[in-house]
Structure 1
Amino acid sequence: MELRQLEYFIAVAEEENFTRAAERVHISQSGVSAQIRQLEHDLGAPLFHRSGRNTGLTSAGRAALRHARSALAAVDAVRQAVDEVNGLIRGRLVVGMVTACTVTPLFDALSAFHHHHPGVEITLLEDTSDRLVERLRAGTADLALVSTPGTPPPGLEAYEIIREPLVAAIPTNHPLGSAPEVTLADLARHSVVSLPTGTGIRKVFDDACAAAGVHVEIAFQAAAPSAIADLAIRGLGVAILSESMVAQHRPHLTTRTITDIHTQPVLSLTWPTTDNPALRQLLHHCHTAFTHPTPTPARNTEDPRSE
């Protein structure tokens, strides 16, 4: 049994697909398959069900996964201990960010960290906040920029960046445009466009509707705030966004306070409690970047608080 076999095993288990796992570990699919077959031969049991598009763990695979992760974590801990004695930081960090992320200070922090610690491999991934939080708790991500309702996710460390109330973004000539403010019941009588389930804003909206006993039909949804705004501008519904997300779309959209939504989505950097020296250094650069941001022209109009 070799450490690389355990790494490939974990990759296939988490990706649920040999092709994606091969891309993740940067070798051919046939190479991953061969190493997994050898591992299964050494262990005397199949680790995966190979029928269908996705690859699922067998009962033996599920039993082995936790120990495989522990084995690789122990090896990493040995390397880190020696590197700390030698004053070196290296390894691998997985950093997640919400889809359509354009938070410049995070990119500044990653750039500064890479300049000071080129021996650390950084892997970036985009996903919804819900799935990023799951990755943090499962140990498959080290740091993530997420949006959650009201407070950062429990059980994790967090650095809050911003919180902002939701608004109804109303297109020109819409019947609600004459109202100074709107309620969820008002929105229930019209088409609504929203971000998908799993995003911070959608969670706040859905929870408020449930608490008020109001059913709002979501006519259209999209992953990027700019797409939601464009749908609203074209008359396909009232958009549920934050005030800052709508700013660049005026005068085509006007905003109204939704009086019965009292929770605000919170955008935060989130990570599990750890003694990983590479993550500690990255967090230091993040704190510096968010405390003293470098002015940088925006490259697009999408806002990360969507997720």
Structure 2
Amino acid sequence: MDLRQMEYFVALADEQQFTRAAELTRVSQSGLSAAIRTLEDELQTPLFTRTTRRVELTGAGRALLPHARALLAQALAGRDAVVAARAEVLGDLRVGGEQCLGVIDLPDLLTRFHGRYPKVVISFEQAGSTELLSKLRAGDLDLAFVATGEGDASTRAHQQGAPVLTEIAVEPLVFLCAPDSRFAKRPQVLWEELEGETFVDFHATWGVRSINDRAFARRDLDRRVGLVVNDVHTLLDFVQRRLGVAIVPRPIAGKPQAQGLVAIPFADADADRWSVGVATPAHDGASSVAAKLLELVPSREATVVG
């Protein structure tokens, strides 16, 4: 067993889908599948049961998972210790982030950064993505972890002074409702069917709110947002109490606080997707200290966001 196999194994255990696990680990789906088969051959036992829709851990896989996570954590800690021993970085780092981005753990990221560079003074601000991008343009932040609609960046690429956005991950939106909703037993839902529902949604500065508003407007559909929140857990609580329904990124629907709610994919799941990325200033890029943090961030491709 090697670290790369453990990384693939953990990603597949978490995502329960080869396509998404391959995207996260930046390997082809065939390469991921071959690595898992090799690992199973080495251990002489199946680690996953495979169906046409998902994969699930076997008993042997569940036994291996905590050890695989521990092995990866130890490897990261070892790398961080080496970096901390060979280099000293001083300065300030001003970071912003929207709440519950799901695809990246900001407390863990900043903890790792602090372990590597303990003399850097870190400040952190949580707000909606629109507000964070404004603060970045004003020079009040060094970088910001934000959510936008997939493709938003490329459509605004020519705006002067627009921050550079490096994409981390893209997730589909799902419709979230109580188990006694008229939609609860549906395998899929259409946007057009949601007119007349009362929605719980985030403040206009949040990335997903902008995506939802544009999705309805583009289809010329009316929508009533009756409850506006600035907190993921409050949104889930309101839906649990049947005060409204919601449209959220898939990671939010997977939170423990969403247990008992029904998450239904959209029939056109690829039409409106939620993109998480890290934004840096346009004029001179990331500062030297911020660049050190970016070294710890998995990313796809850089573009420009308005």
TM range (shorter): 0.5 to 0.7
**Using a 3 Å threshold, how does the CA distance of structure 1 residues 268 and 152 change in structure 2: closer, same or farther?**
farther
Offset from partner CA, 1:194-242 (integer Å, 9 cap, x none): 1221111111110011101111101112122222122111111112112
Q: CA deviation at 1:104?
A: 6.1
Matches within 5 A, 1:55-74: none
User: What amino acid is aligned across from residue 240 of structure 1 in structure 2?
Assistant: I
1:145-186 deviation per Cα after TM superposition (whole angstroms, max 9, x unaligned): 100111464433333222111111121221222443322332
The verdict on how the C-alpha distance between 1:235 and 1:151 changes in structure 2, with shifts beyond 3 A counting, is same
Q: Matched residues in 1 for 2:203 and 2:230: separation?
A: 6
Aligned length: 203
Q: Distance in 1 between matches of 2:118 and 2:259?
A: 46
The residue that corresponds to 2:233 in the other structure is 226
1:98 alignment partner AA:
E
SS in 2 for 1:144: strand
- 1:18: which partner in 2? none
Preserved contact between residue 236 and residue 258 of structure 2 (Cα < 8 Å): no
2:291 matched to 1:276?
no
Q: Give TM-score scaled by structure 1 length.
A: 0.59
Q: Within 2, Cα distance between the matches of 1:232 and 1:133?
A: 29
Deviations 1:126-159 (Å, cap 9, x if unpaired)? 1100010111112110011100111464433333
Please report how far the alpha carbon of residue 277 of structure 1 lies from its aligned counterpart in structure 2 after TM superposition: 1.8
**Residue matched to 1:147:** 147
Q: For residue 169 of structure 1, what is the aligned residue in structure 2?
A: 176
Over the aligned positions, Cα root-mean-square deviation in angstroms equals 2.6
In the other structure, the counterpart of 1:131 is: 131
Who is 1:255 aligned against?
Answer: 263
Residues 176 and 108 of structure 1, relative CA distance in 2, 3 Å threshold? closer
Letter in 1 for 2:147: S
1:83-162 equivalences in 2 (<5 Å): 89-100=89-100, 105-151=105-151, 153=153, 154=157, 155-162=162-169
Deviation at 1:283, TM superposition (A): 1.6
How far the C-alpha of 1:90 sits from its partner, in A, is: 2.3
Q: Which has the higher helix share?
A: 1
Name the CA shift for 1:194/1:91 in 2 (closer, same or farther; >3 Å). same
Structure 2, unaligned runs of 5 or more: 1-86, 301-306
Identical amino acids, percent of aligned pairs: 25
- Residue 209 of structure 2 corresponds to 202
Query: Using the alignment, how far apart are the partners of 1:231 and 1:195 within structure 2?
Result: 12
Cα distance in 2 for residues equivalent to 1:101 and 1:264 = 14
1:243-277 deviation line (CA, Å, top 9, x unaligned):
33223356621122234561211011221243622
Q: Partner of 2:296: helix, strand, or coil?
A: helix
Local SS of the residue matching 2:184: helix
- Which residue of 2 is the match for residue 304 of structure 1? none
Cα distance in 2 for partners of 1:119, 1:249 equals 36
Question: Comparing 92-101 with 176-185, which one deviates more in the overlay?
Answer: 176-185
Relative to structure 1, is the Cα distance of residues 180 and 285 closer, same or farther in structure 2, using a 3 angstrom cutoff? closer
Bigger radius of gyration, 1 or 2? Answer: 1
Q: 1:195, 1:223 → 2: CA distance?
A: 6
Asked whether the 8 Å contact 2:179–2:260 carries over to 1, the reply is yes
Distance in 1 (alpha carbons) for counterparts of 2:266 and 2:104: 29
Counterpart code for 1:206: D
Which amino acid counterpart does residue 206 of structure 2 have in structure 1? T
Q: Kindly indicate whether the alpha-carbon contact (under 8 Å) linking 1:191 and 1:238 is maintained by their aligned counterparts in 2.
A: yes
AA of the residue aligned to 2:277? S
TM-score normalized by structure 2? 0.59
Distance 1:159 1:205 in 2: 22
Contact 2:101 2:276 (8 Å CA) reproduced: no
Q: Distance in 1 between matches of 2:109 and 2:175?
A: 33
Instruction: Indicate if the aligned counterparts of 2:143 and 2:286 stay in contact, CA closer than 8 A.
Output: no
SS at match of 1:145: strand
For residues 152 and 281 of structure 1, the distance between their equivalents in structure 2, rounded to whole angstroms, comes to 26
Supply the distance in 2 between the matched residues of 1:108 and 1:177 (Cα, whole angstroms): 35
Shift of 1:103: 6.5
Please state how far the C-alpha of 1:117 moved relative to its aligned partner: 3.0
Identify the residue that residue 267 of structure 1 maps to in structure 2.
276
